[in-house]
Structure 1
Amino acid sequence: MGKYFGTDGFRGEANKVLTVEHAFKIGRYLGWYFGQDHKAQIVIGKDTRRSSYMFEYALASGLTASGADAYLLHVTTTPSVSYVTRTEDFDCGIMISASHNPYYDNGIKLINGQGQKIEAEIEKKIEAYLDGETEELPLAVRGEIGRTVDYSAGRNRYIGQLISLATRSFKGKRVGLDCANGSASAIAKSVYDALGAKTYVISNEPDGININTNCGSTHIEQLQAFVKEKNLDIGFAFDGDADRCIAVDENGNVVDGDLILYVCGKYLKEQGRLNHDTVVTTVMSNLGLYKAFDKAGIDYEKTKVGDKYVYENMSQNNYSLGGEQSGHIIFSKHATTGDGILTSLMIMEAVLEKKQSLGKLTEEVKIYPQLLKNVRVSDKTAAKTHPAVVKAIEDVEEALGQEGRILVRESGTEPLLRVMVEAGTDELCEKYVHQVIDVMKEEGLVTE
């Protein structure tokens, strides 16, 4: 974790934490870094936040001032930037988005030439430049100054790629899409219309400040109500940059990332397309998912929270499916990042090929009640390893046995311990979470 760049780029409130000067200097460094032995070509996408336009122009100015050519995809999704960077030989890709955060936040995500999150060592070099710890970079002059190129054709090729992945027509299927007033607004409906679905769309009128506002994957209740009101067969909700997908079945029930991993994992296994019969999850996936995997003969890996770690595990072991409870799902045959629209298409494939509703496909999974509470502490590591806390955790583990679990982990960005319990009832979750937190308080480890 760097000073500016976290697990998902440089993110913060626009012009407070992440400023236009930061964006210009990031562009300056990337243009110089990738252009040391050739004329660099770097592609930029953005979501619908008002500040995204400002950052787009600042990045493009920095890139061209350092001699690179900046190719603008305009409003598009994070996975589309990854796809275009990877398939069209760009040196680097940049996505301007704060994902599911409110509109006043923004972020700069950097993608390497293989379509993956850029290497940490490059981020460190950028941070050193931002802090004035390296020499000032030379400005391009005369014919060496870079160009800004309209590259909406790249986004259109990505749309064509999505359409080509569908195995059959969606004709006759009533599908609801919640585009979160974000990046999916420019892509999702056109994909589903092209595949023949009867498409019903909400939250697809972005105005710069309504992205993620009471809509999208973080406010799934809007899509639940919409699916029931319109009597739809299925619904999909995306986040601001459309790298997440949460589904809603025909009864209005939420199908989160864990259930998506089960539906797609079981389907791919039956098709002989689940590499090593293994799905990669994070430690936050529900115990009910693992029990269902055991029953279906599917193995699983557990990584730290973050789709970055999921993909690292997948690429190292040649796994084909992995993801997070939050809806970041990675299909390594088709993408190197989570892709919400792609995920929805893969769910549709399972529904159509098996001739069963999404509700039917998920009914074998019993999701355990889960409670997560954040505890502010003065020293995360000291609090987690304190003998009294360790003993309290062990006591809960013993009490839960095979019918629940406790997970205590450190926040990657704040002085917090996250205490999570899964158990047979909400009451048990509450009891055991507070049992551990009370010990932390008794030992004087909690600051608030």
Structure 2
Amino acid sequence: MRKLFGTDGIRAVAGEAPLDAKTIYAVGLALAHQLKPKHPRPSILLGMDTRESGAWIASVLAAGLAEGGATVKSAGVITTPAIAYLARTHGFSAGVVISASHNPWHDNGIKIFGGDGYKLPDATELAIEDEIFRQLETRDFETTGAPDPSALPELETDPKLRADYEQFLFKAVPQLDLDHMKLVIDCANGAASVIAPELFLQLAGSVKLTHVHPDGRNINAGCGALHPEVVAKETKDAGADMGITFDGDADRALFADANGNVVNGDAVLLLAARDLKAREILKDDMVVATTMSNMGLEAALRRSEIKMLRAPVGDKYVLEMMQANDASLGGEQSGHVLFPHLATTGDGLLTALVVLDIVQRAGKPLHELLADLKTFPQVIVNVRVKEKRPLDQIETVAARIREAEEALEGNGRVVIRYSGTEPLARVMIEAESEAEMRRHADAIAQAIQEAIGA
């Protein structure tokens, strides 16, 4: 059973297992050894978000990679999709991002991309994981001592790497003219803080930048894609045309229209799907969403004669289904949107440019383009758990789920899953009746809490 890698790499409290110094060092060794059969001298690109733990984790990881025979270059603070792009275009054997995405500042994580710019397959992650545990079991850290982060040099950053990624963004959506637009940009005090100002100040007529002063501990704190209502209020108060908000590592984006309404990933999928179809580049008139996407999106796509497939939650699983079906668009309600003709992974900054381009070419405000998207009432209840037992094996939980499914058949949905990055069970209910929706969600959440709640 997988012990380290979740749906988006390794994630934990920085300094605690599995993000303690000896495990991070073992990750470096294992990754270098995994790459060696194809790359005798592996080259690794490192990047990080703005958490205060990022620099020491990078130093320890680099030391493990070096002992494993790899060379390391650092792009410093940069977005996750930038590392995917640069690893691919600059010929690196792999790219590694030190980030915990939307998690609070005290967490951190390690995400790995192959030299092709894609996240590693599960089988490769498991092979790396097996060696990590072997290293921890056989290496005498008690005698030699775990690597001391304070004794390791901080990595030097190559600023040209970030500049190359910024040029890619400018070229990805050419002829974008936003002189007439007023934007509010919330950078979540995260990785977007170092790129979004340079990007949007050159493109838009008027830009209000918020949460662009990271201090190592304020990433995602009451801002960013975790709190899209913040940018929505700012957008309405400022009389802006649109608001854009990113998560900590900027691999996803959410939006706000001029009326102060939050525009999530489902709405972006609808907007992009219709645009791609109108330009006859939406393959097989197909979109890949997830089990969490609202029934309203499916209905709106159907009206446009576009079919929707549902993948498990996690952008890597969306991508797998896209590749299996040769789809040209996919994404998640949370704001991860995949445009395979432009990039190998979800990219919040790129998504923002694509949405702005669609709005510009349509000559209509965002709320008008999405006026017919009627979403079913939806609630998500998160329950912190002490273990992740199969829910169908917990009779009290299974009974509550069956009751909800029978009551909502044909008029709603029940999706219960564990988070791949946090110790949470997520209870999602959609229904035409908000009262019925909340009643079932609370009943299932309570059953989970009583059985395995932390």
Q: Name the TM-score, length of structure 1 as normaliser.
A: 0.89
> Secondary structure at 1:21's aligned position in 2?
helix
Query: How far apart in 2 are the matches of 1:379 and 1:68?
Result: 36
- The offset of 1:270, in angstroms, is 1.2
After superposition, where does 1:203-222 map in structure 2 within 5 Å? 203-222=211-230
> Secondary structure at 1:325's aligned position in 2?
coil
CA deviations on 1:27-73 (whole Å, 9 max, x unpaired) are 22323432455221110111111100111111222222333221111
Query: How far apart in 2 are the matches of 1:193 and 1:158?
Result: 16
Of 214, 228, 244, the match for 1:236: 244
CA deviations on 1:221-259 (whole Å, 9 max, x unpaired) are 221221122111001000100001010011110001111
Q: CA 1:428–1:311 in structure 2 vs 1: closer, same or farther (change >3 Å)? A: same
CA contact (8 A) 2:8 2:420 kept: no
- Asked if 1:23 is matched to 2:31, the reply is no
Question: Residue 334 of structure 1 aligns with which residue?
Answer: 342
- The offset of 1:378, in angstroms, is 7.8
> Secondary structure at 2:59's aligned position in 1?
helix
CA contact (8 A) 1:377 1:445 kept: no
Query: How far apart in 2 are the matches of 1:55 and 1:416?
Result: 25
Q: CA 1:22–1:162 in structure 2 vs 1: closer, same or farther (change >3 Å)? A: same
Corresponding residue pairs, total = 436
Q: Tell me, which stretches of 5 or more residues in structure 1 are unaligned?
A: 138-147
- The offset of 1:317, in angstroms, is 1.6
> Counterpart amino acid of 2:25?
F
CA contact (8 A) 1:280 1:319 kept: yes
> Secondary structure at 2:92's aligned position in 1?
coil
Give me the CA root mean square deviation: 2.7
- Asked if 1:10 is matched to 2:10, the reply is yes
After superposition, where does 1:134-173 map in structure 2 within 5 Å? 150-167=157-174, 168-173=176-181
> Secondary structure at 1:171's aligned position in 2?
strand
Query: How far apart in 1 are the matches of 2:442 and 2:274?
Result: 36
Q: Tell me, which stretches of 5 or more residues in structure 2 are unaligned?
A: 141-154
After superposition, where does 1:181-260 map in structure 2 within 5 Å? 181-260=189-268
Question: Residue 272 of structure 2 aligns with which residue?
Answer: 264
> Secondary structure at 2:124's aligned position in 1?
helix
Of 40, 58, 69, the match for 2:71: 69
CA contact (8 A) 1:163 1:194 kept: no
Query: How far apart in 2 are the matches of 1:35 and 1:446?
Result: 42
Q: CA 1:27–1:435 in structure 2 vs 1: closer, same or farther (change >3 Å)? A: closer
- The offset of 1:377, in angstroms, is 9.2
- Asked if 1:363 is matched to 2:376, the reply is no
Question: Residue 141 of structure 1 aligns with which residue?
Answer: none
Larger displacement relative to structure 2 (96-105 or 401-410): 401-410
- The offset of 1:308, in angstroms, is 1.0
> Secondary structure at 1:11's aligned position in 2?
strand
> Secondary structure at 2:308's aligned position in 1?
strand
CA contact (8 A) 1:14 1:106 kept: yes
- The offset of 1:2, in angstroms, is 2.0
> Counterpart amino acid of 1:14?
A
> Secondary structure at 1:319's aligned position in 2?
coil
> Counterpart amino acid of 2:434?
D
CA contact (8 A) 2:74 2:158 kept: yes
Q: CA 1:85–1:249 in structure 2 vs 1: closer, same or farther (change >3 Å)? A: same
CA deviations on 1:333-352 (whole Å, 9 max, x unpaired) are 11121110011111111101
CA contact (8 A) 2:182 2:204 kept: no
CA contact (8 A) 1:69 1:149 kept: no
Question: Residue 61 of structure 2 aligns with which residue?
Answer: 59
Query: How far apart in 2 are the matches of 1:159 and 1:206?
Result: 20
